[in-house]
Structure 1
Amino acid sequence: MDYFIGVDVGTGSVRAALVAKNGKVAKAAVENLKTWNPQPDFYEQSSDDVWNCCKKVIKEVVKDIPINYVKGIGFDATCSLVVLNKDMKPLSASLEGTSEQNIILWMDHRAVKEANFINDLKHPVLRFVGGKVSLEMEIPKLLWLKTHLRQECWDQAGAFFDLPDFLTWKATGCDTRSLCSLVCKWNYEIQPDGAGQWNREYLLKIGLEDLVEDNFKKIGSIVIPPGTPVGNGLSAAVAKELGLNAGIPVGTSLIDAHAGGLGMIGCRADGILEEFHSKIGLICGTSTCHMAVSKDPVFCPGVWGPYYSAMVPNMWLNEGGQSATGKLIDFVIDSHPATTKIKEKSKERHIQNYLNDVLKDMAKRQNLPCVAFLTKELHIWPDFHGNRSPLADPSLKGMISGLTLSNDEENLAILYLATVQALSYGTKYIIESLVKSGHSAIKTILICGGLSKNSLFTQVQADVVNLPVVCPDEPESVLLGSAILGACAAGTFPDIRTAISSMGGTGKVIKPDSATIDFHARKYKVFLKMVEDQRLYRNIMDS
């Protein structure tokens, strides 16, 4: 029996899965992570904590099978910055000076000035990130470290890793970097002929000349495609800790959202085209990433990419996103006065499912054809944590129009529904921007992650964009994606494309409700008007 281990390091937890050759998850385990939030917009984690959690979940999923059954391991993680000293030990990236806090999390927004400085230079390399580097990427964060923690951190640093690459280094002892991580988050340049390079002139121009030294040793000089075997596989020391065989192939890593895209894109469903370029994948968690591949490069303002071979080999990837989705829904619910009583009343039941039923009852009492029409007078602009795509403006704020003095559970239910709708309008905005920039028509939305388990969320996405939504039967698409990397490293499949098709599985189709098309079209106009108004208000106050 052949199994592959997929390890996913998300924002709040580490998960591992034992995945069979047919793509079915046989067993999974989860361990929560520590996160520090020392001041607004600062989010930090510990690489020791991350790795210890990885070991726990791996040992849990393999404890009941013969170790010879494990044929390969793959890792994915959030695109967070790991800082190590010259002895390759954790080095503080925090103003608090604690070495334990040596990861700057992806959602950390401290590097505002640094990102603005880089963008003002308008270097040609930024063409491949939608015209603007995001403060969520690694280069602005590195510049922040050099500016604010020069002596304490920058001068003492021996290596900077994207978190997915840190994990493969810990597992193998081999210092390689994933093409996915570097191209998508570090402004590394890759050409269709496979030739890649750091842009030396760019690093010098923005003031990170230190990184050029010693053949880019601190940020990596050996760059390999996802799924490629790393070094000699699992090191003897780590294998002993995990109770596994030394030398088990370890696949070059992916960013977590990209692993989700990899795990979903081969999913088959009735009436759904097989062509990869006709689909867009939504990987929904704390944030949402929108992954679309194309045969030719598409340059879309405000949408990251095009990135060559960053997810699917020989295809260009565009990555849109929303910085707060699951986190925004949780915030809206948790900050409402009615939530405490609902949680007491609903016991073990998930509050979103409870609210879904409240909405159905309200629509039925009001003789509405569906719940969508309950938000006719309530509108939300959802960028409470800035806009990632397609406006690429981290300074944008959330907006709500239509509040009343009501604070009961029905009020919360409508506010929750309007939030879900607003996030779906954000998806529509991203897709329209891609198509306008030259992407071929998108025919299907694929959804995975926590929000894919919410029937209201998936239906609203289908209704708003007026496209079928496919939810894979195997719900753990991100873990499946990382397991695919392990399978490729083991040589089980000749290439990633074959692995995607063989392990992608099947899915359920959610079709759009035609009765809502006109309603959502009008609400979408309000949605777009809201951001115009926000900018107008800002101009008035700044004048």
Structure 2
Amino acid sequence: MATYVLAIDIGTSNVKAGIFNTGGDLISLARIEIPIYYPEPGAGIQRLSEIHDSTLRACEQALKQAKVDVDALSFSAQMHGVSIVGKEGEEITPLITYLDTRPASVLKNIELKIDSYKLYVETGCPPRFIYPLTKLVWLSQVMPNKFRSAEWFLSAKDYVMLKLLGEPYIDKSVAAGSQLLDIGKLKWSSLALEIAGINESKLPNLCDGEKILCEAPRNISSRLGLKNKVQIVLGASDGALHSVGVGAVKKGILALNIGTSGAIRSVSEYPLVDRDRAMRFFCYYIGYGLRLPGGAVNNAGIGLRWFRDEFGHIETSIAKLTSKDPYNILTEEAEQVGPTSDNLIILPFLSGERFPMNNPYAKGVIFGLTLRHGKAHVIRALMEGCLYTLKWIYDSMAENGLEGLSIRTGGGGSRSPLWRQIQADIFNLPVEMLAVEEASLLGAAAMGFVALGIYKNINEAIDKMVKIVDVKYPNPKNHTKYAKTYNFYKKLYYTLESLYIEHSQLF
């Protein structure tokens, strides 16, 4: 009898659920959008109830489409969010996502009290406003009564587990993105907990996500129409499972993701951090003893989404009439423009930035705009801008022995042939596209099949499930142009760095 896994990715923009067979074929896919709210300057929050509801609805839709019995539910999830939850599982605060820059106000005080590099070496997380540790310190100061009333401090997946199982559970992969986990010992960091002013009892149960957690409870099986003894695999973070889903768990293969945010990651068999005290990249955890050095950017596909919503009304209307994806229409327009967008450069920092620099005050800048530039130039410059930032992160990784031989790309940005070619040209590396676009879902499914014993290890699962369908090779002439523009891009950022802070203090 065939074996199937229902993979669930609790992302920032949406929840996706997909059913996979052992060959890595996607049998069904459901996607439910999750609203992000911006109630005040700097805020970026989500409602826990909407995350939970969207998760169940996505599962129901995927199961209804596939009409097969699944043997396991395996989870992927966003990182860096934290919420305050009460004794009855009630939301005391919404989920404060990685997009929320308000906690940046306490970061300097934290750095004055501790050796930031010591905390970085222990947790793999440099001092950044995105991490739950900084958010907890901020919450304790701006919402002290709510902070004291907390039964738990939970991320998105932990809350869903609380609702599904009656207890909150967190895998070591998601925990590694909290700045609360000792990345060497894979236990909660006493140093981090002391800074946060909490103890372990306020955190979810820490588990090995690659192992079976439990059987699905009867009430969940009943609601979803599952057969008996369906296993729950806690899984890992969306970033870690993206690397698994593109097969980038061997040295020399880089995983590059362009979704709402973006990231570039390598793999290491031991904790590896930046030797430079600038702390330009992180070191998280996948599972199976594998660490995940890399860097992520706030501003990737979210820039194109902003452009679509504010200036892409014509493209959106055409998309509705033709049943095309509006993003495909936008990127087709960008193909009319050559590399470097006729010297139009966009610093795409619409929501601050976290790597390789730490600047919550960074803002978007369009530089070099002239009368000859049009909409297509702006679209392409947005696509190029986020890749310059990712290249900047990669250069710091390469300085620490994490050179890449090829790139495996995933996320919504991998759909665009143009965006893949830009990746190849900027990084000067071949860029491989996979058959399944939803890499984090595929990674969750692979982890699920290994947990079920279908495959003996994750490498065997990858060999059977991950398929390369296209390769873009770098164009030497284009790379030369991009290399010069990339250097100017960094110079432009440094020129504006002090002005960003001054700008934030205008009013």
Give yes or no for TM over 0.5: yes
Cα pair 1:126 1:187 within 8 Å, conserved: no
Partner of 2:400: 437
Seen in structure 2, the aligned counterparts of structure 1 residues 65 and 401 have a Cα distance that, compared at 3 Å, is closer
Find the aligned partners of 1:486 and 1:477 in 2 and give their Cα distance. Answer: 14
Find the aligned partners of 1:495 and 1:122 in 2 and give their Cα distance. Answer: 39
Partner of 2:272: 298
Cα pair 2:281 2:396 within 8 Å, conserved: no
Q: What is the 5 A alignment of 1:242-321?
A: 242-265=224-247, 276-300=250-274, 301-307=278-284, 310-321=285-296
Question: Which residue identity lines up with residue 137 of structure 2 in the other structure?
Answer: L
Seen in structure 2, the aligned counterparts of structure 1 residues 128 and 438 have a Cα distance that, compared at 3 Å, is farther
Given the alignment of the two structures, is residue 393 of structure 1 paired with residue 393 of structure 2, yes or no?
no
Q: Helix, strand or coil for the counterpart of 2:212?
A: coil
Partner of 1:84: 85
Cα pair 2:298 2:352 within 8 Å, conserved: yes
Find the aligned partners of 2:287 and 2:151 in 1 and give their Cα distance. Answer: 32
Cα shift readout 1:292-337 (whole Å, capped 9, x = no counterpart): 1124443224444333xx115233311301101111122245444x
Cα pair 2:4 2:22 within 8 Å, conserved: yes
Offset of 1:56 from its aligned partner? Answer: 1.5
Q: What is the 5 A alignment of 1:31-70?
A: 31-63=32-64, 69-70=69-70
Percent of counterpart pairs with the same letter?
21
Cα shift readout 1:448-488 (whole Å, capped 9, x = no counterpart): 11111112111101111110111101112111112223223
Cα pair 1:463 1:513 within 8 Å, conserved: yes
Cα pair 1:129 1:303 within 8 Å, conserved: no
Partner of 1:413: 376
Offset of 1:342 from its aligned partner? Answer: 4.6
Cα pair 1:6 1:75 within 8 Å, conserved: yes
Find the aligned partners of 1:489 and 1:297 in 2 and give their Cα distance. Answer: 24
Find the aligned partners of 1:329 and 1:107 in 2 and give their Cα distance. Answer: 16
Q: Which moved more, 1:375-384 or 1:52-61?
A: 375-384
Partner of 2:217: 235
Which fold has the larger relative contact order, with Cα–Cα distance below 8 Å and residues 6 or more apart in sequence?
A: 1
Seen in structure 2, the aligned counterparts of structure 1 residues 490 and 170 have a Cα distance that, compared at 3 Å, is farther
Cα pair 1:72 1:489 within 8 Å, conserved: no
Given the alignment of the two structures, is residue 110 of structure 1 paired with residue 102 of structure 2, yes or no?
yes
Q: Helix, strand or coil for the counterpart of 1:277?
A: coil
2:478 to 481, 496, 516: 516
Seen in structure 2, the aligned counterparts of structure 1 residues 469 and 129 have a Cα distance that, compared at 3 Å, is farther
Find the aligned partners of 1:249 and 1:434 in 2 and give their Cα distance. Answer: 38
Cα pair 1:2 1:20 within 8 Å, conserved: yes
Find the aligned partners of 2:379 and 2:66 in 1 and give their Cα distance. Answer: 44
Offset of 1:159 from its aligned partner? Answer: 1.2
Partner of 2:411: 449
Find the aligned partners of 1:345 and 1:188 in 2 and give their Cα distance. Answer: 48
Offset of 1:6 from its aligned partner? Answer: 0.3
**Where in structure 2 are there 5+ consecutive unaligned residues?**
none
Seen in structure 2, the aligned counterparts of structure 1 residues 535 and 506 have a Cα distance that, compared at 3 Å, is closer
Q: Helix, strand or coil for the counterpart of 1:257?
A: helix
Q: Could you say what the CA RMSD is over the residues aligned between the two structures, in angstroms?
A: 2.5
Given the alignment of the two structures, is residue 372 of structure 1 paired with residue 339 of structure 2, yes or no?
yes
Offset of 1:174 from its aligned partner? Answer: 4.5
Cα shift readout 1:417-453 (whole Å, capped 9, x = no counterpart): 11212222112211111011232x2011111111111
**Where in structure 1 are there 5+ consecutive unaligned residues?**
94-101, 267-274, 364-370
Q: Helix, strand or coil for the counterpart of 1:34?
A: coil
Cα pair 1:249 1:489 within 8 Å, conserved: no
Seen in structure 2, the aligned counterparts of structure 1 residues 188 and 359 have a Cα distance that, compared at 3 Å, is closer
Offset of 1:64 from its aligned partner? Answer: 6.0
Find the aligned partners of 2:424 and 2:260 in 1 and give their Cα distance. Answer: 20
Given the alignment of the two structures, is residue 404 of structure 1 paired with residue 370 of structure 2, yes or no?
yes
Cα pair 1:260 1:478 within 8 Å, conserved: yes
Q: Which moved more, 1:350-359 or 1:375-384?
A: 350-359
Seen in structure 2, the aligned counterparts of structure 1 residues 175 and 341 have a Cα distance that, compared at 3 Å, is closer
Find the aligned partners of 1:83 and 1:356 in 2 and give their Cα distance. Answer: 40
Query: Which TM-score applies when normalising by structure 2?
Result: 0.90
Cα shift readout 1:495-541 (whole Å, capped 9, x = no counterpart): 33332333223332111112212211211121111012113546898
Cα pair 2:123 2:189 within 8 Å, conserved: no
